[in-house]
Structure formats: C-alpha cells, structure tokens
Structure 1
Amino acid sequence: MNVAVCGLGSQVAQVGVIPALRRSRWTQFLGGTTRSRATAEHVLTGAERHYRDYDAILSDPDVEAVYLPLPNDLHLDFIAAAVLAHKHVLCEKPLLLSDDQYDRLERIVASSTTRVSEAFMSSYHPRLREVIATCSSGEFGEVLSVSTAFTGTLAPLDGYRLNARRGGGSLYDVGIYALFPIVALLGADPREISVVTKVTPTTPPVDLTMHCLMEFDDGRAATFVTSFVSGESQSLRILTQQASIAVDRTCTPTPLDVDWTLTTSAGVTIRRSLGCDPYQAMIDEVFEAFTQGREPSWNLSRSRQVAQLLHRINRTWREDRAQP
C-alpha cells in the first residue's frame, strides 16, 4: 500500500514510522509534506516525493493511505479530508479530543470503505500483549489493582502541548499509555475518579503532572501518573489474588525489552516474551489489515473506549478546579 506522510518534520515520523514504512513488505513510502526544504532533503531519499501541501497528497492517485503526525487539534479535519479522498488513515494519538469528535468521525467512515487507526504502537508489542493476556486469563486469580506511569522531562516544553484548547497537557499527550492496561484489565467505567494535578498558570490551565486514582466495583482500583516535568518513569504494576507483576519501559519498548517479573508465594520469576520494534509491528499489522480490507487490532472501537475514560478524567479535574 502506497503511503504518504503529512508532516516530515515530526520526530516520531522520522525516528519510528518512516523507517518502518520503508522496511515493511506491506507498504511503499512515497514521500510527504514539510514547509522546510532542508527537512525534506534530510528525510527523503531517491525518488521519494516532496509534496507541496496536504491537498497535493490527497489529489495524488498513487497515494492509498496517509500517516498524520500532527498537533492534536488538527486530527479530525485532516482525517475527514483523507477519508473523503478515499485514503486510509493512520493518525497519531490522541486520535480525537472529545466524544463529539468520535461521533463525527464514525458518521464519516460509516459511508466509506476506508479505515482509520490510531498510531498506538505500544499495543503491538508482544510483551505487553502477553502480560495482559496472562492476567486476563485468570491464571493467578482476579486482578485487584493496576498502577501505571509515564513521566519525564519534555524539552522543549512549548507549542500545542501547553495549549489546553489544542489538546495540550500530559494526560492527552501520554495518557493513552497509562490508561490502556487499566482499561484492558479493569474496564473503562470506574465508579469514582480522584485527580491531583500540577498545572500551568495559564487560562485555561494545562496539566503538567497528573496523579489519578480510579475506584472500580468490588474493591478494585487503579492509579496512574503522567508528567512533562519529572523524572523518567515507564512502569506497569499489576496485583492479582495470587501474584504481582512488574513491567518496566512499557510505554516506549524496544526489541530488547522482553523481561517481566512475576512474584508469587513460590518466589520471584523472570519471564521472557518475544521482542520487536513496536513501530514495525504496528506498521506491519495496520497496513496488512488495510490491504486486506479489515480493521487492525487497535481499531476505532478500542481507541474510543480508552478515549472516553481519558475525556472523563479531563472533565473531572477541570470541574474540580472550577469549584470555589
């Protein structure tokens, strides 16, 4: 499938996605857009095309799909334009910023044969899949709690990530990584949500750091922390009736991140899963599915399930701060 990228200057495009598009047997990377000729010369090679703008991509009959590494508030309009031009879409997370936007997108794709998928590469890594499958199987009893973290110091900290109206803040930027294991193991409908935030002095504020506690039925609970302004942490901790599981570097795993720790009454065991480049796994699965006319594993339904909880958490802390 011939793929073009709208935004060649994106770091994730340059480091992860474009190399995977070049390697995959399911894709041919045609080229992309950037306002910078220097960027185009740096990224593109050989006969790869430098499109003047997004309309040029959409009007190219050779392009069958687009990858969109754009600021969060631009996603819906660019996705809609691609779908109307009969191009499949892989778009960076967070896919959309509200339930209303998901409603609009679902109406658009309902009358089309094109597919849309969120570029959530962690969900394709074999270790995370194995850990979730193991805990979901009941092998070690019911899952009682899940704790996740994705924190670090973002530099430079500027642009849309500091603009609430453009989908800024740590929750929208990296919250999907923290929420996915929670939703997979405990569900997307906690009974109570409590949030503590460190925010910018702007109006409206943007969450620089967020701590969240979610209470589920039957005494189960989940916690997570996301941050732009803290030490590095990428962790997943799961407590079941008979075991505890610890996984590190869960959000941006590499092919070398294969180990996870299982602790039971019998002792501590280091288990080993398969490793892979998660960007490559994502590109291969998504575009194999697109080519075959079916949905990839991370489809709109799964994306929306996590997003609805993310939107609810965002409303919770904003409403709490607005109270006198």
Structure 2
Amino acid sequence: MTTPTPARPAGAELRWGALGATAYISGLLLPAIARTDGCVLTAVASRPERHAQAVEVAKPYGATAHEDYAALIADPDVDAVYIALPNTDHVEWTVRALAAGKHVLVEKPMAMDEDGVRRIERAAADASRIATEAFMYRFHPQQQRAADLLAAGTIGELRFVRTAFAFEIPTGSGNIRLDPALGGGATWDVGCYAVDVPQFFFGRAPDRVGARFSSRPGHQVETSAFGWMDFGEGRGAVLDWSIDYGPRAWYELQGTSGTISVRNAWAMSGEDGVLTVRTADGVLTETVPAADHYQLQVGAFARAVAEGRPGPYPIADSRRAARVGAALVASAAAGGTPVATADGRADEPVGAGPART
C-alpha cells in the first residue's frame, strides 16, 4: 500500500501543477482546483511546441506556464501534479513526479498493465507521497446514494450489473484517442468506466472476462466493444463502450428483488443526478442535487494530503483495473475467448464503495 505522506502544516495551501494544456484541463480540471478550498493552481506545462497554449491556459489563474513537463516537475512551488497526458505517458510521468517529491492525481488509466501500476506504487512508497487514479464519476453523490440503497437491502442481494458508456469521437478530429501509438482506443478511455462499475459495486475483480472489439473503417484502434464479467455463484455483468456513438453513461444494479438505475453517471456540475429504483412495491425516482464531481475529487485528494493519509482509494483498485482491462484486450485479441482475472493476494484491499463527500 502507498505509504502515507507526513501531514502538511495547518492552513498550508496545496499548490497544484497540471501536465497537459488541453481543452479537458482548461474546461473541467483547472476550474475545479481553483474552486477547492485550500488549493491553488501554480503551474501548467505543455510540450515545447504547444507552449503558447499553456500560456493561455495558465493566464486566468496567474499560474506559471512551463515549456516542458520536466520543468514543472522540478518546480519547487508545486506540491501536487495532475497528469492528463496520453495513456502511454502516465506511468513515466507519474513515477518522475513522485521521485521529485510531488503527490500525483493521474488520469485513468493509471497504467495499461498491472506492472505499470506496481511501478507507481513502489515509487509512491519510496517517496512517501500519494498517487491516485482520477475516476471523477466515483465522487458524485448519486453513486454514493446507489451504494447506500444497495447496502440497505433495497433491491436484495446484488446479482448482475449492466453498464453502457460511450461518446462520439469524429474521424479526422486529430483526437489522441484514435492514435494507437498513444494508447488510444475505446477500451482504455471510455471503457475504463464500464469496466470499473461492476467491480466497484461487487467490491472485487471478476473471476474471468470476455470481450469482442470492432474498429471504425480506416482506424487502427478499437472504437466499439462489448464484454462480460463472471463473478462466480451466478453473479455477472454485461457491458458496452464506444467512441463511435453517444453520449451514454448508464448503469443498472440488478438485485434479487429489484433494480437501481443511474441514467447519467457523468452528471456535470449543473446537472442533477437521477436514480430509479424498481421493486415489487413500485417505481421510485430520486433526484440527487447537482454536484461538481471534479471538485469533490480534488477536495478528497487534498484532504488526504493535508491529513497525511493514503489517497481516497487504495492503489489496489488501480492494480485490479489494469489487470482486468488487459484481460479484456487479450480476450478480444483471441476472438472473445474467456480470460481469467481473479483477485490475487489477500493483502489487496478494494474500495469500499463510492466516495463520501
């Protein structure tokens, strides 16, 4: 497990730097940092050829715009780094940031194989710093409400999970998710959500998985997929994910006596969450007030740093995610043949449900 960092002095601001001057960073993540008590954005970095973009992204916050990633990592005015680089760069820059004494919140996937997550785990322990995978949807209160209803026995014992996550990326957009050299494809992007939901609510990895991939004509990455998970004892999940169509961010928990459906797990800061519970007693729709799950994620991470605790979720969750994701890729490459993914050692705890806010 990640070694907790020494607690920060009371009242000290957590100074953030962001690797990647992208629309995602500027539109969602940096505003969340700026709105979070005890946090301040001090630096942004880009590739040298995109320095002008970094300057524009940093300007509203009075932050420094570094000309390359290494300069930000070396910046003594940065305590924590948000990494939103191509998937192939996550492990390298997370390890480098940790070695430089920074805490790290890294975009999913933390790594595309379990060995990569273990490299990060060792680096975090060596540096006594936190490394956490950024799954912002987990922090929305509607996920906690679904977990509470499940724990209360509202739908009986959980038996099956259905998930569907998708959004369209047009051909010719230049999006890195369409580039195989940068770890592109639907699976390691939008598929991370579809794969996470069943494991999150069952609280463990499946025993085995299977998947089939398809590619849009002219592309070398999978752009749509469907899969299944076997959790044993008649428990399972079916899932689909895509960058060919959308938007879609839906899941359903099937219990022995009813269902809980969440119609939009990506509900943004101005959008209420909506859950539908169906049992023999009828149908109940609940509205969960709008919340900024990006800000809630940043706040939870910052509190962990301030209090000298491990990150909001155990890094074992990220090992599990990488292992199961790689197994789905392997299954698809083998024409859908089942691949074993059972949890490994008993010393690997898993998340106990969506984040409390």
**TM-score (normalised: structure 1):** 0.91
**Counterpart position of 2:20:** 7
**Shift in Å, 1:22:** 1.0
Distance (whole Å) between structure 2 residues aligned to residue 110 and residue 296 of structure 1: 12
Moved more, 287-296 or 88-97: 287-296
**Shift in Å, 1:298:** 2.8
Instruction: Find out whether 1:25 has 2:37 as its counterpart.
Output: yes
Judged with a 3 Å threshold, the aligned counterparts in structure 2 of structure 1 residues 95 and 140 are, in CA distance, closer, same or farther, namely same
What's the CA shift string for 1:117-166, capped at 9, x where partnerless?
A: 11111011110122023214434211121101111211355454233353
**Counterpart position of 1:141:** 156
Identity %: 26
**Shift in Å, 1:39:** 4.7
Contact 1:132 1:181 in 2 (8 A): no
**Shift in Å, 1:209:** 0.3
Contact 2:215 2:223 in 1 (8 A): yes
Distance (whole Å) between structure 2 residues aligned to residue 47 and residue 99 of structure 1: 38
Judged with a 3 Å threshold, the aligned counterparts in structure 2 of structure 1 residues 98 and 252 are, in CA distance, closer, same or farther, namely farther
Structure 1: 5+ residue stretches without partners: none
**Shift in Å, 1:109:** 1.7
**Paired residue total:** 320
RMSD, aligned α-carbons:
2.2
**Shift in Å, 1:251:** 3.1
Distance (whole Å) between structure 1 residues aligned to residue 142 and residue 168 of structure 2: 25
Q: Counterpart of 2:168 in structure 1: which amino acid?
A: T
Judged with a 3 Å threshold, the aligned counterparts in structure 2 of structure 1 residues 161 and 235 are, in CA distance, closer, same or farther, namely same
Distance (whole Å) between structure 1 residues aligned to residue 210 and residue 75 of structure 2: 49
**Counterpart position of 2:52:** 37
Contact 2:58 2:65 in 1 (8 A): no
Q: Which runs of 4+ in 1 moved over 6 A?
A: none
What's the CA shift string for 1:25-69, capped at 9, x where partnerless?
A: 121111211323255235423632111222221222111111111
Aligned equivalent of 1:176, options 192, 208, 215 = 192
Instruction: Find out whether 1:199 has 2:212 as its counterpart.
Output: no
Contact 2:58 2:64 in 1 (8 A): no
Structure 2: 5+ residue stretches without partners: 1-13, 338-357
Moved more, 259-268 or 194-203: 194-203
What's the CA shift string for 1:223-273, capped at 9, x where partnerless?
A: 111101123221111211111111111135444222211111111111233
Distance (whole Å) between structure 2 residues aligned to residue 295 and residue 11 of structure 1: 30
Q: Counterpart of 2:335 in structure 1: which amino acid?
A: D
Matches within 5 A, 1:113-124: 113-124=128-139
**Shift in Å, 1:216:** 2.5
**Counterpart position of 2:256:** 241
Judged with a 3 Å threshold, the aligned counterparts in structure 2 of structure 1 residues 180 and 257 are, in CA distance, closer, same or farther, namely farther
Instruction: Find out whether 1:221 has 2:233 as its counterpart.
Output: no
What's the CA shift string for 1:158-212, capped at 9, x where partnerless?
A: 4542333532111101122112220022354434423222125679x42110011
Q: Which has the higher helix share?
A: 1
Contact 2:51 2:65 in 1 (8 A): no
Instruction: Find out whether 1:265 has 2:280 as its counterpart.
Output: yes
- Structure 2 SS opposite 1:216: strand
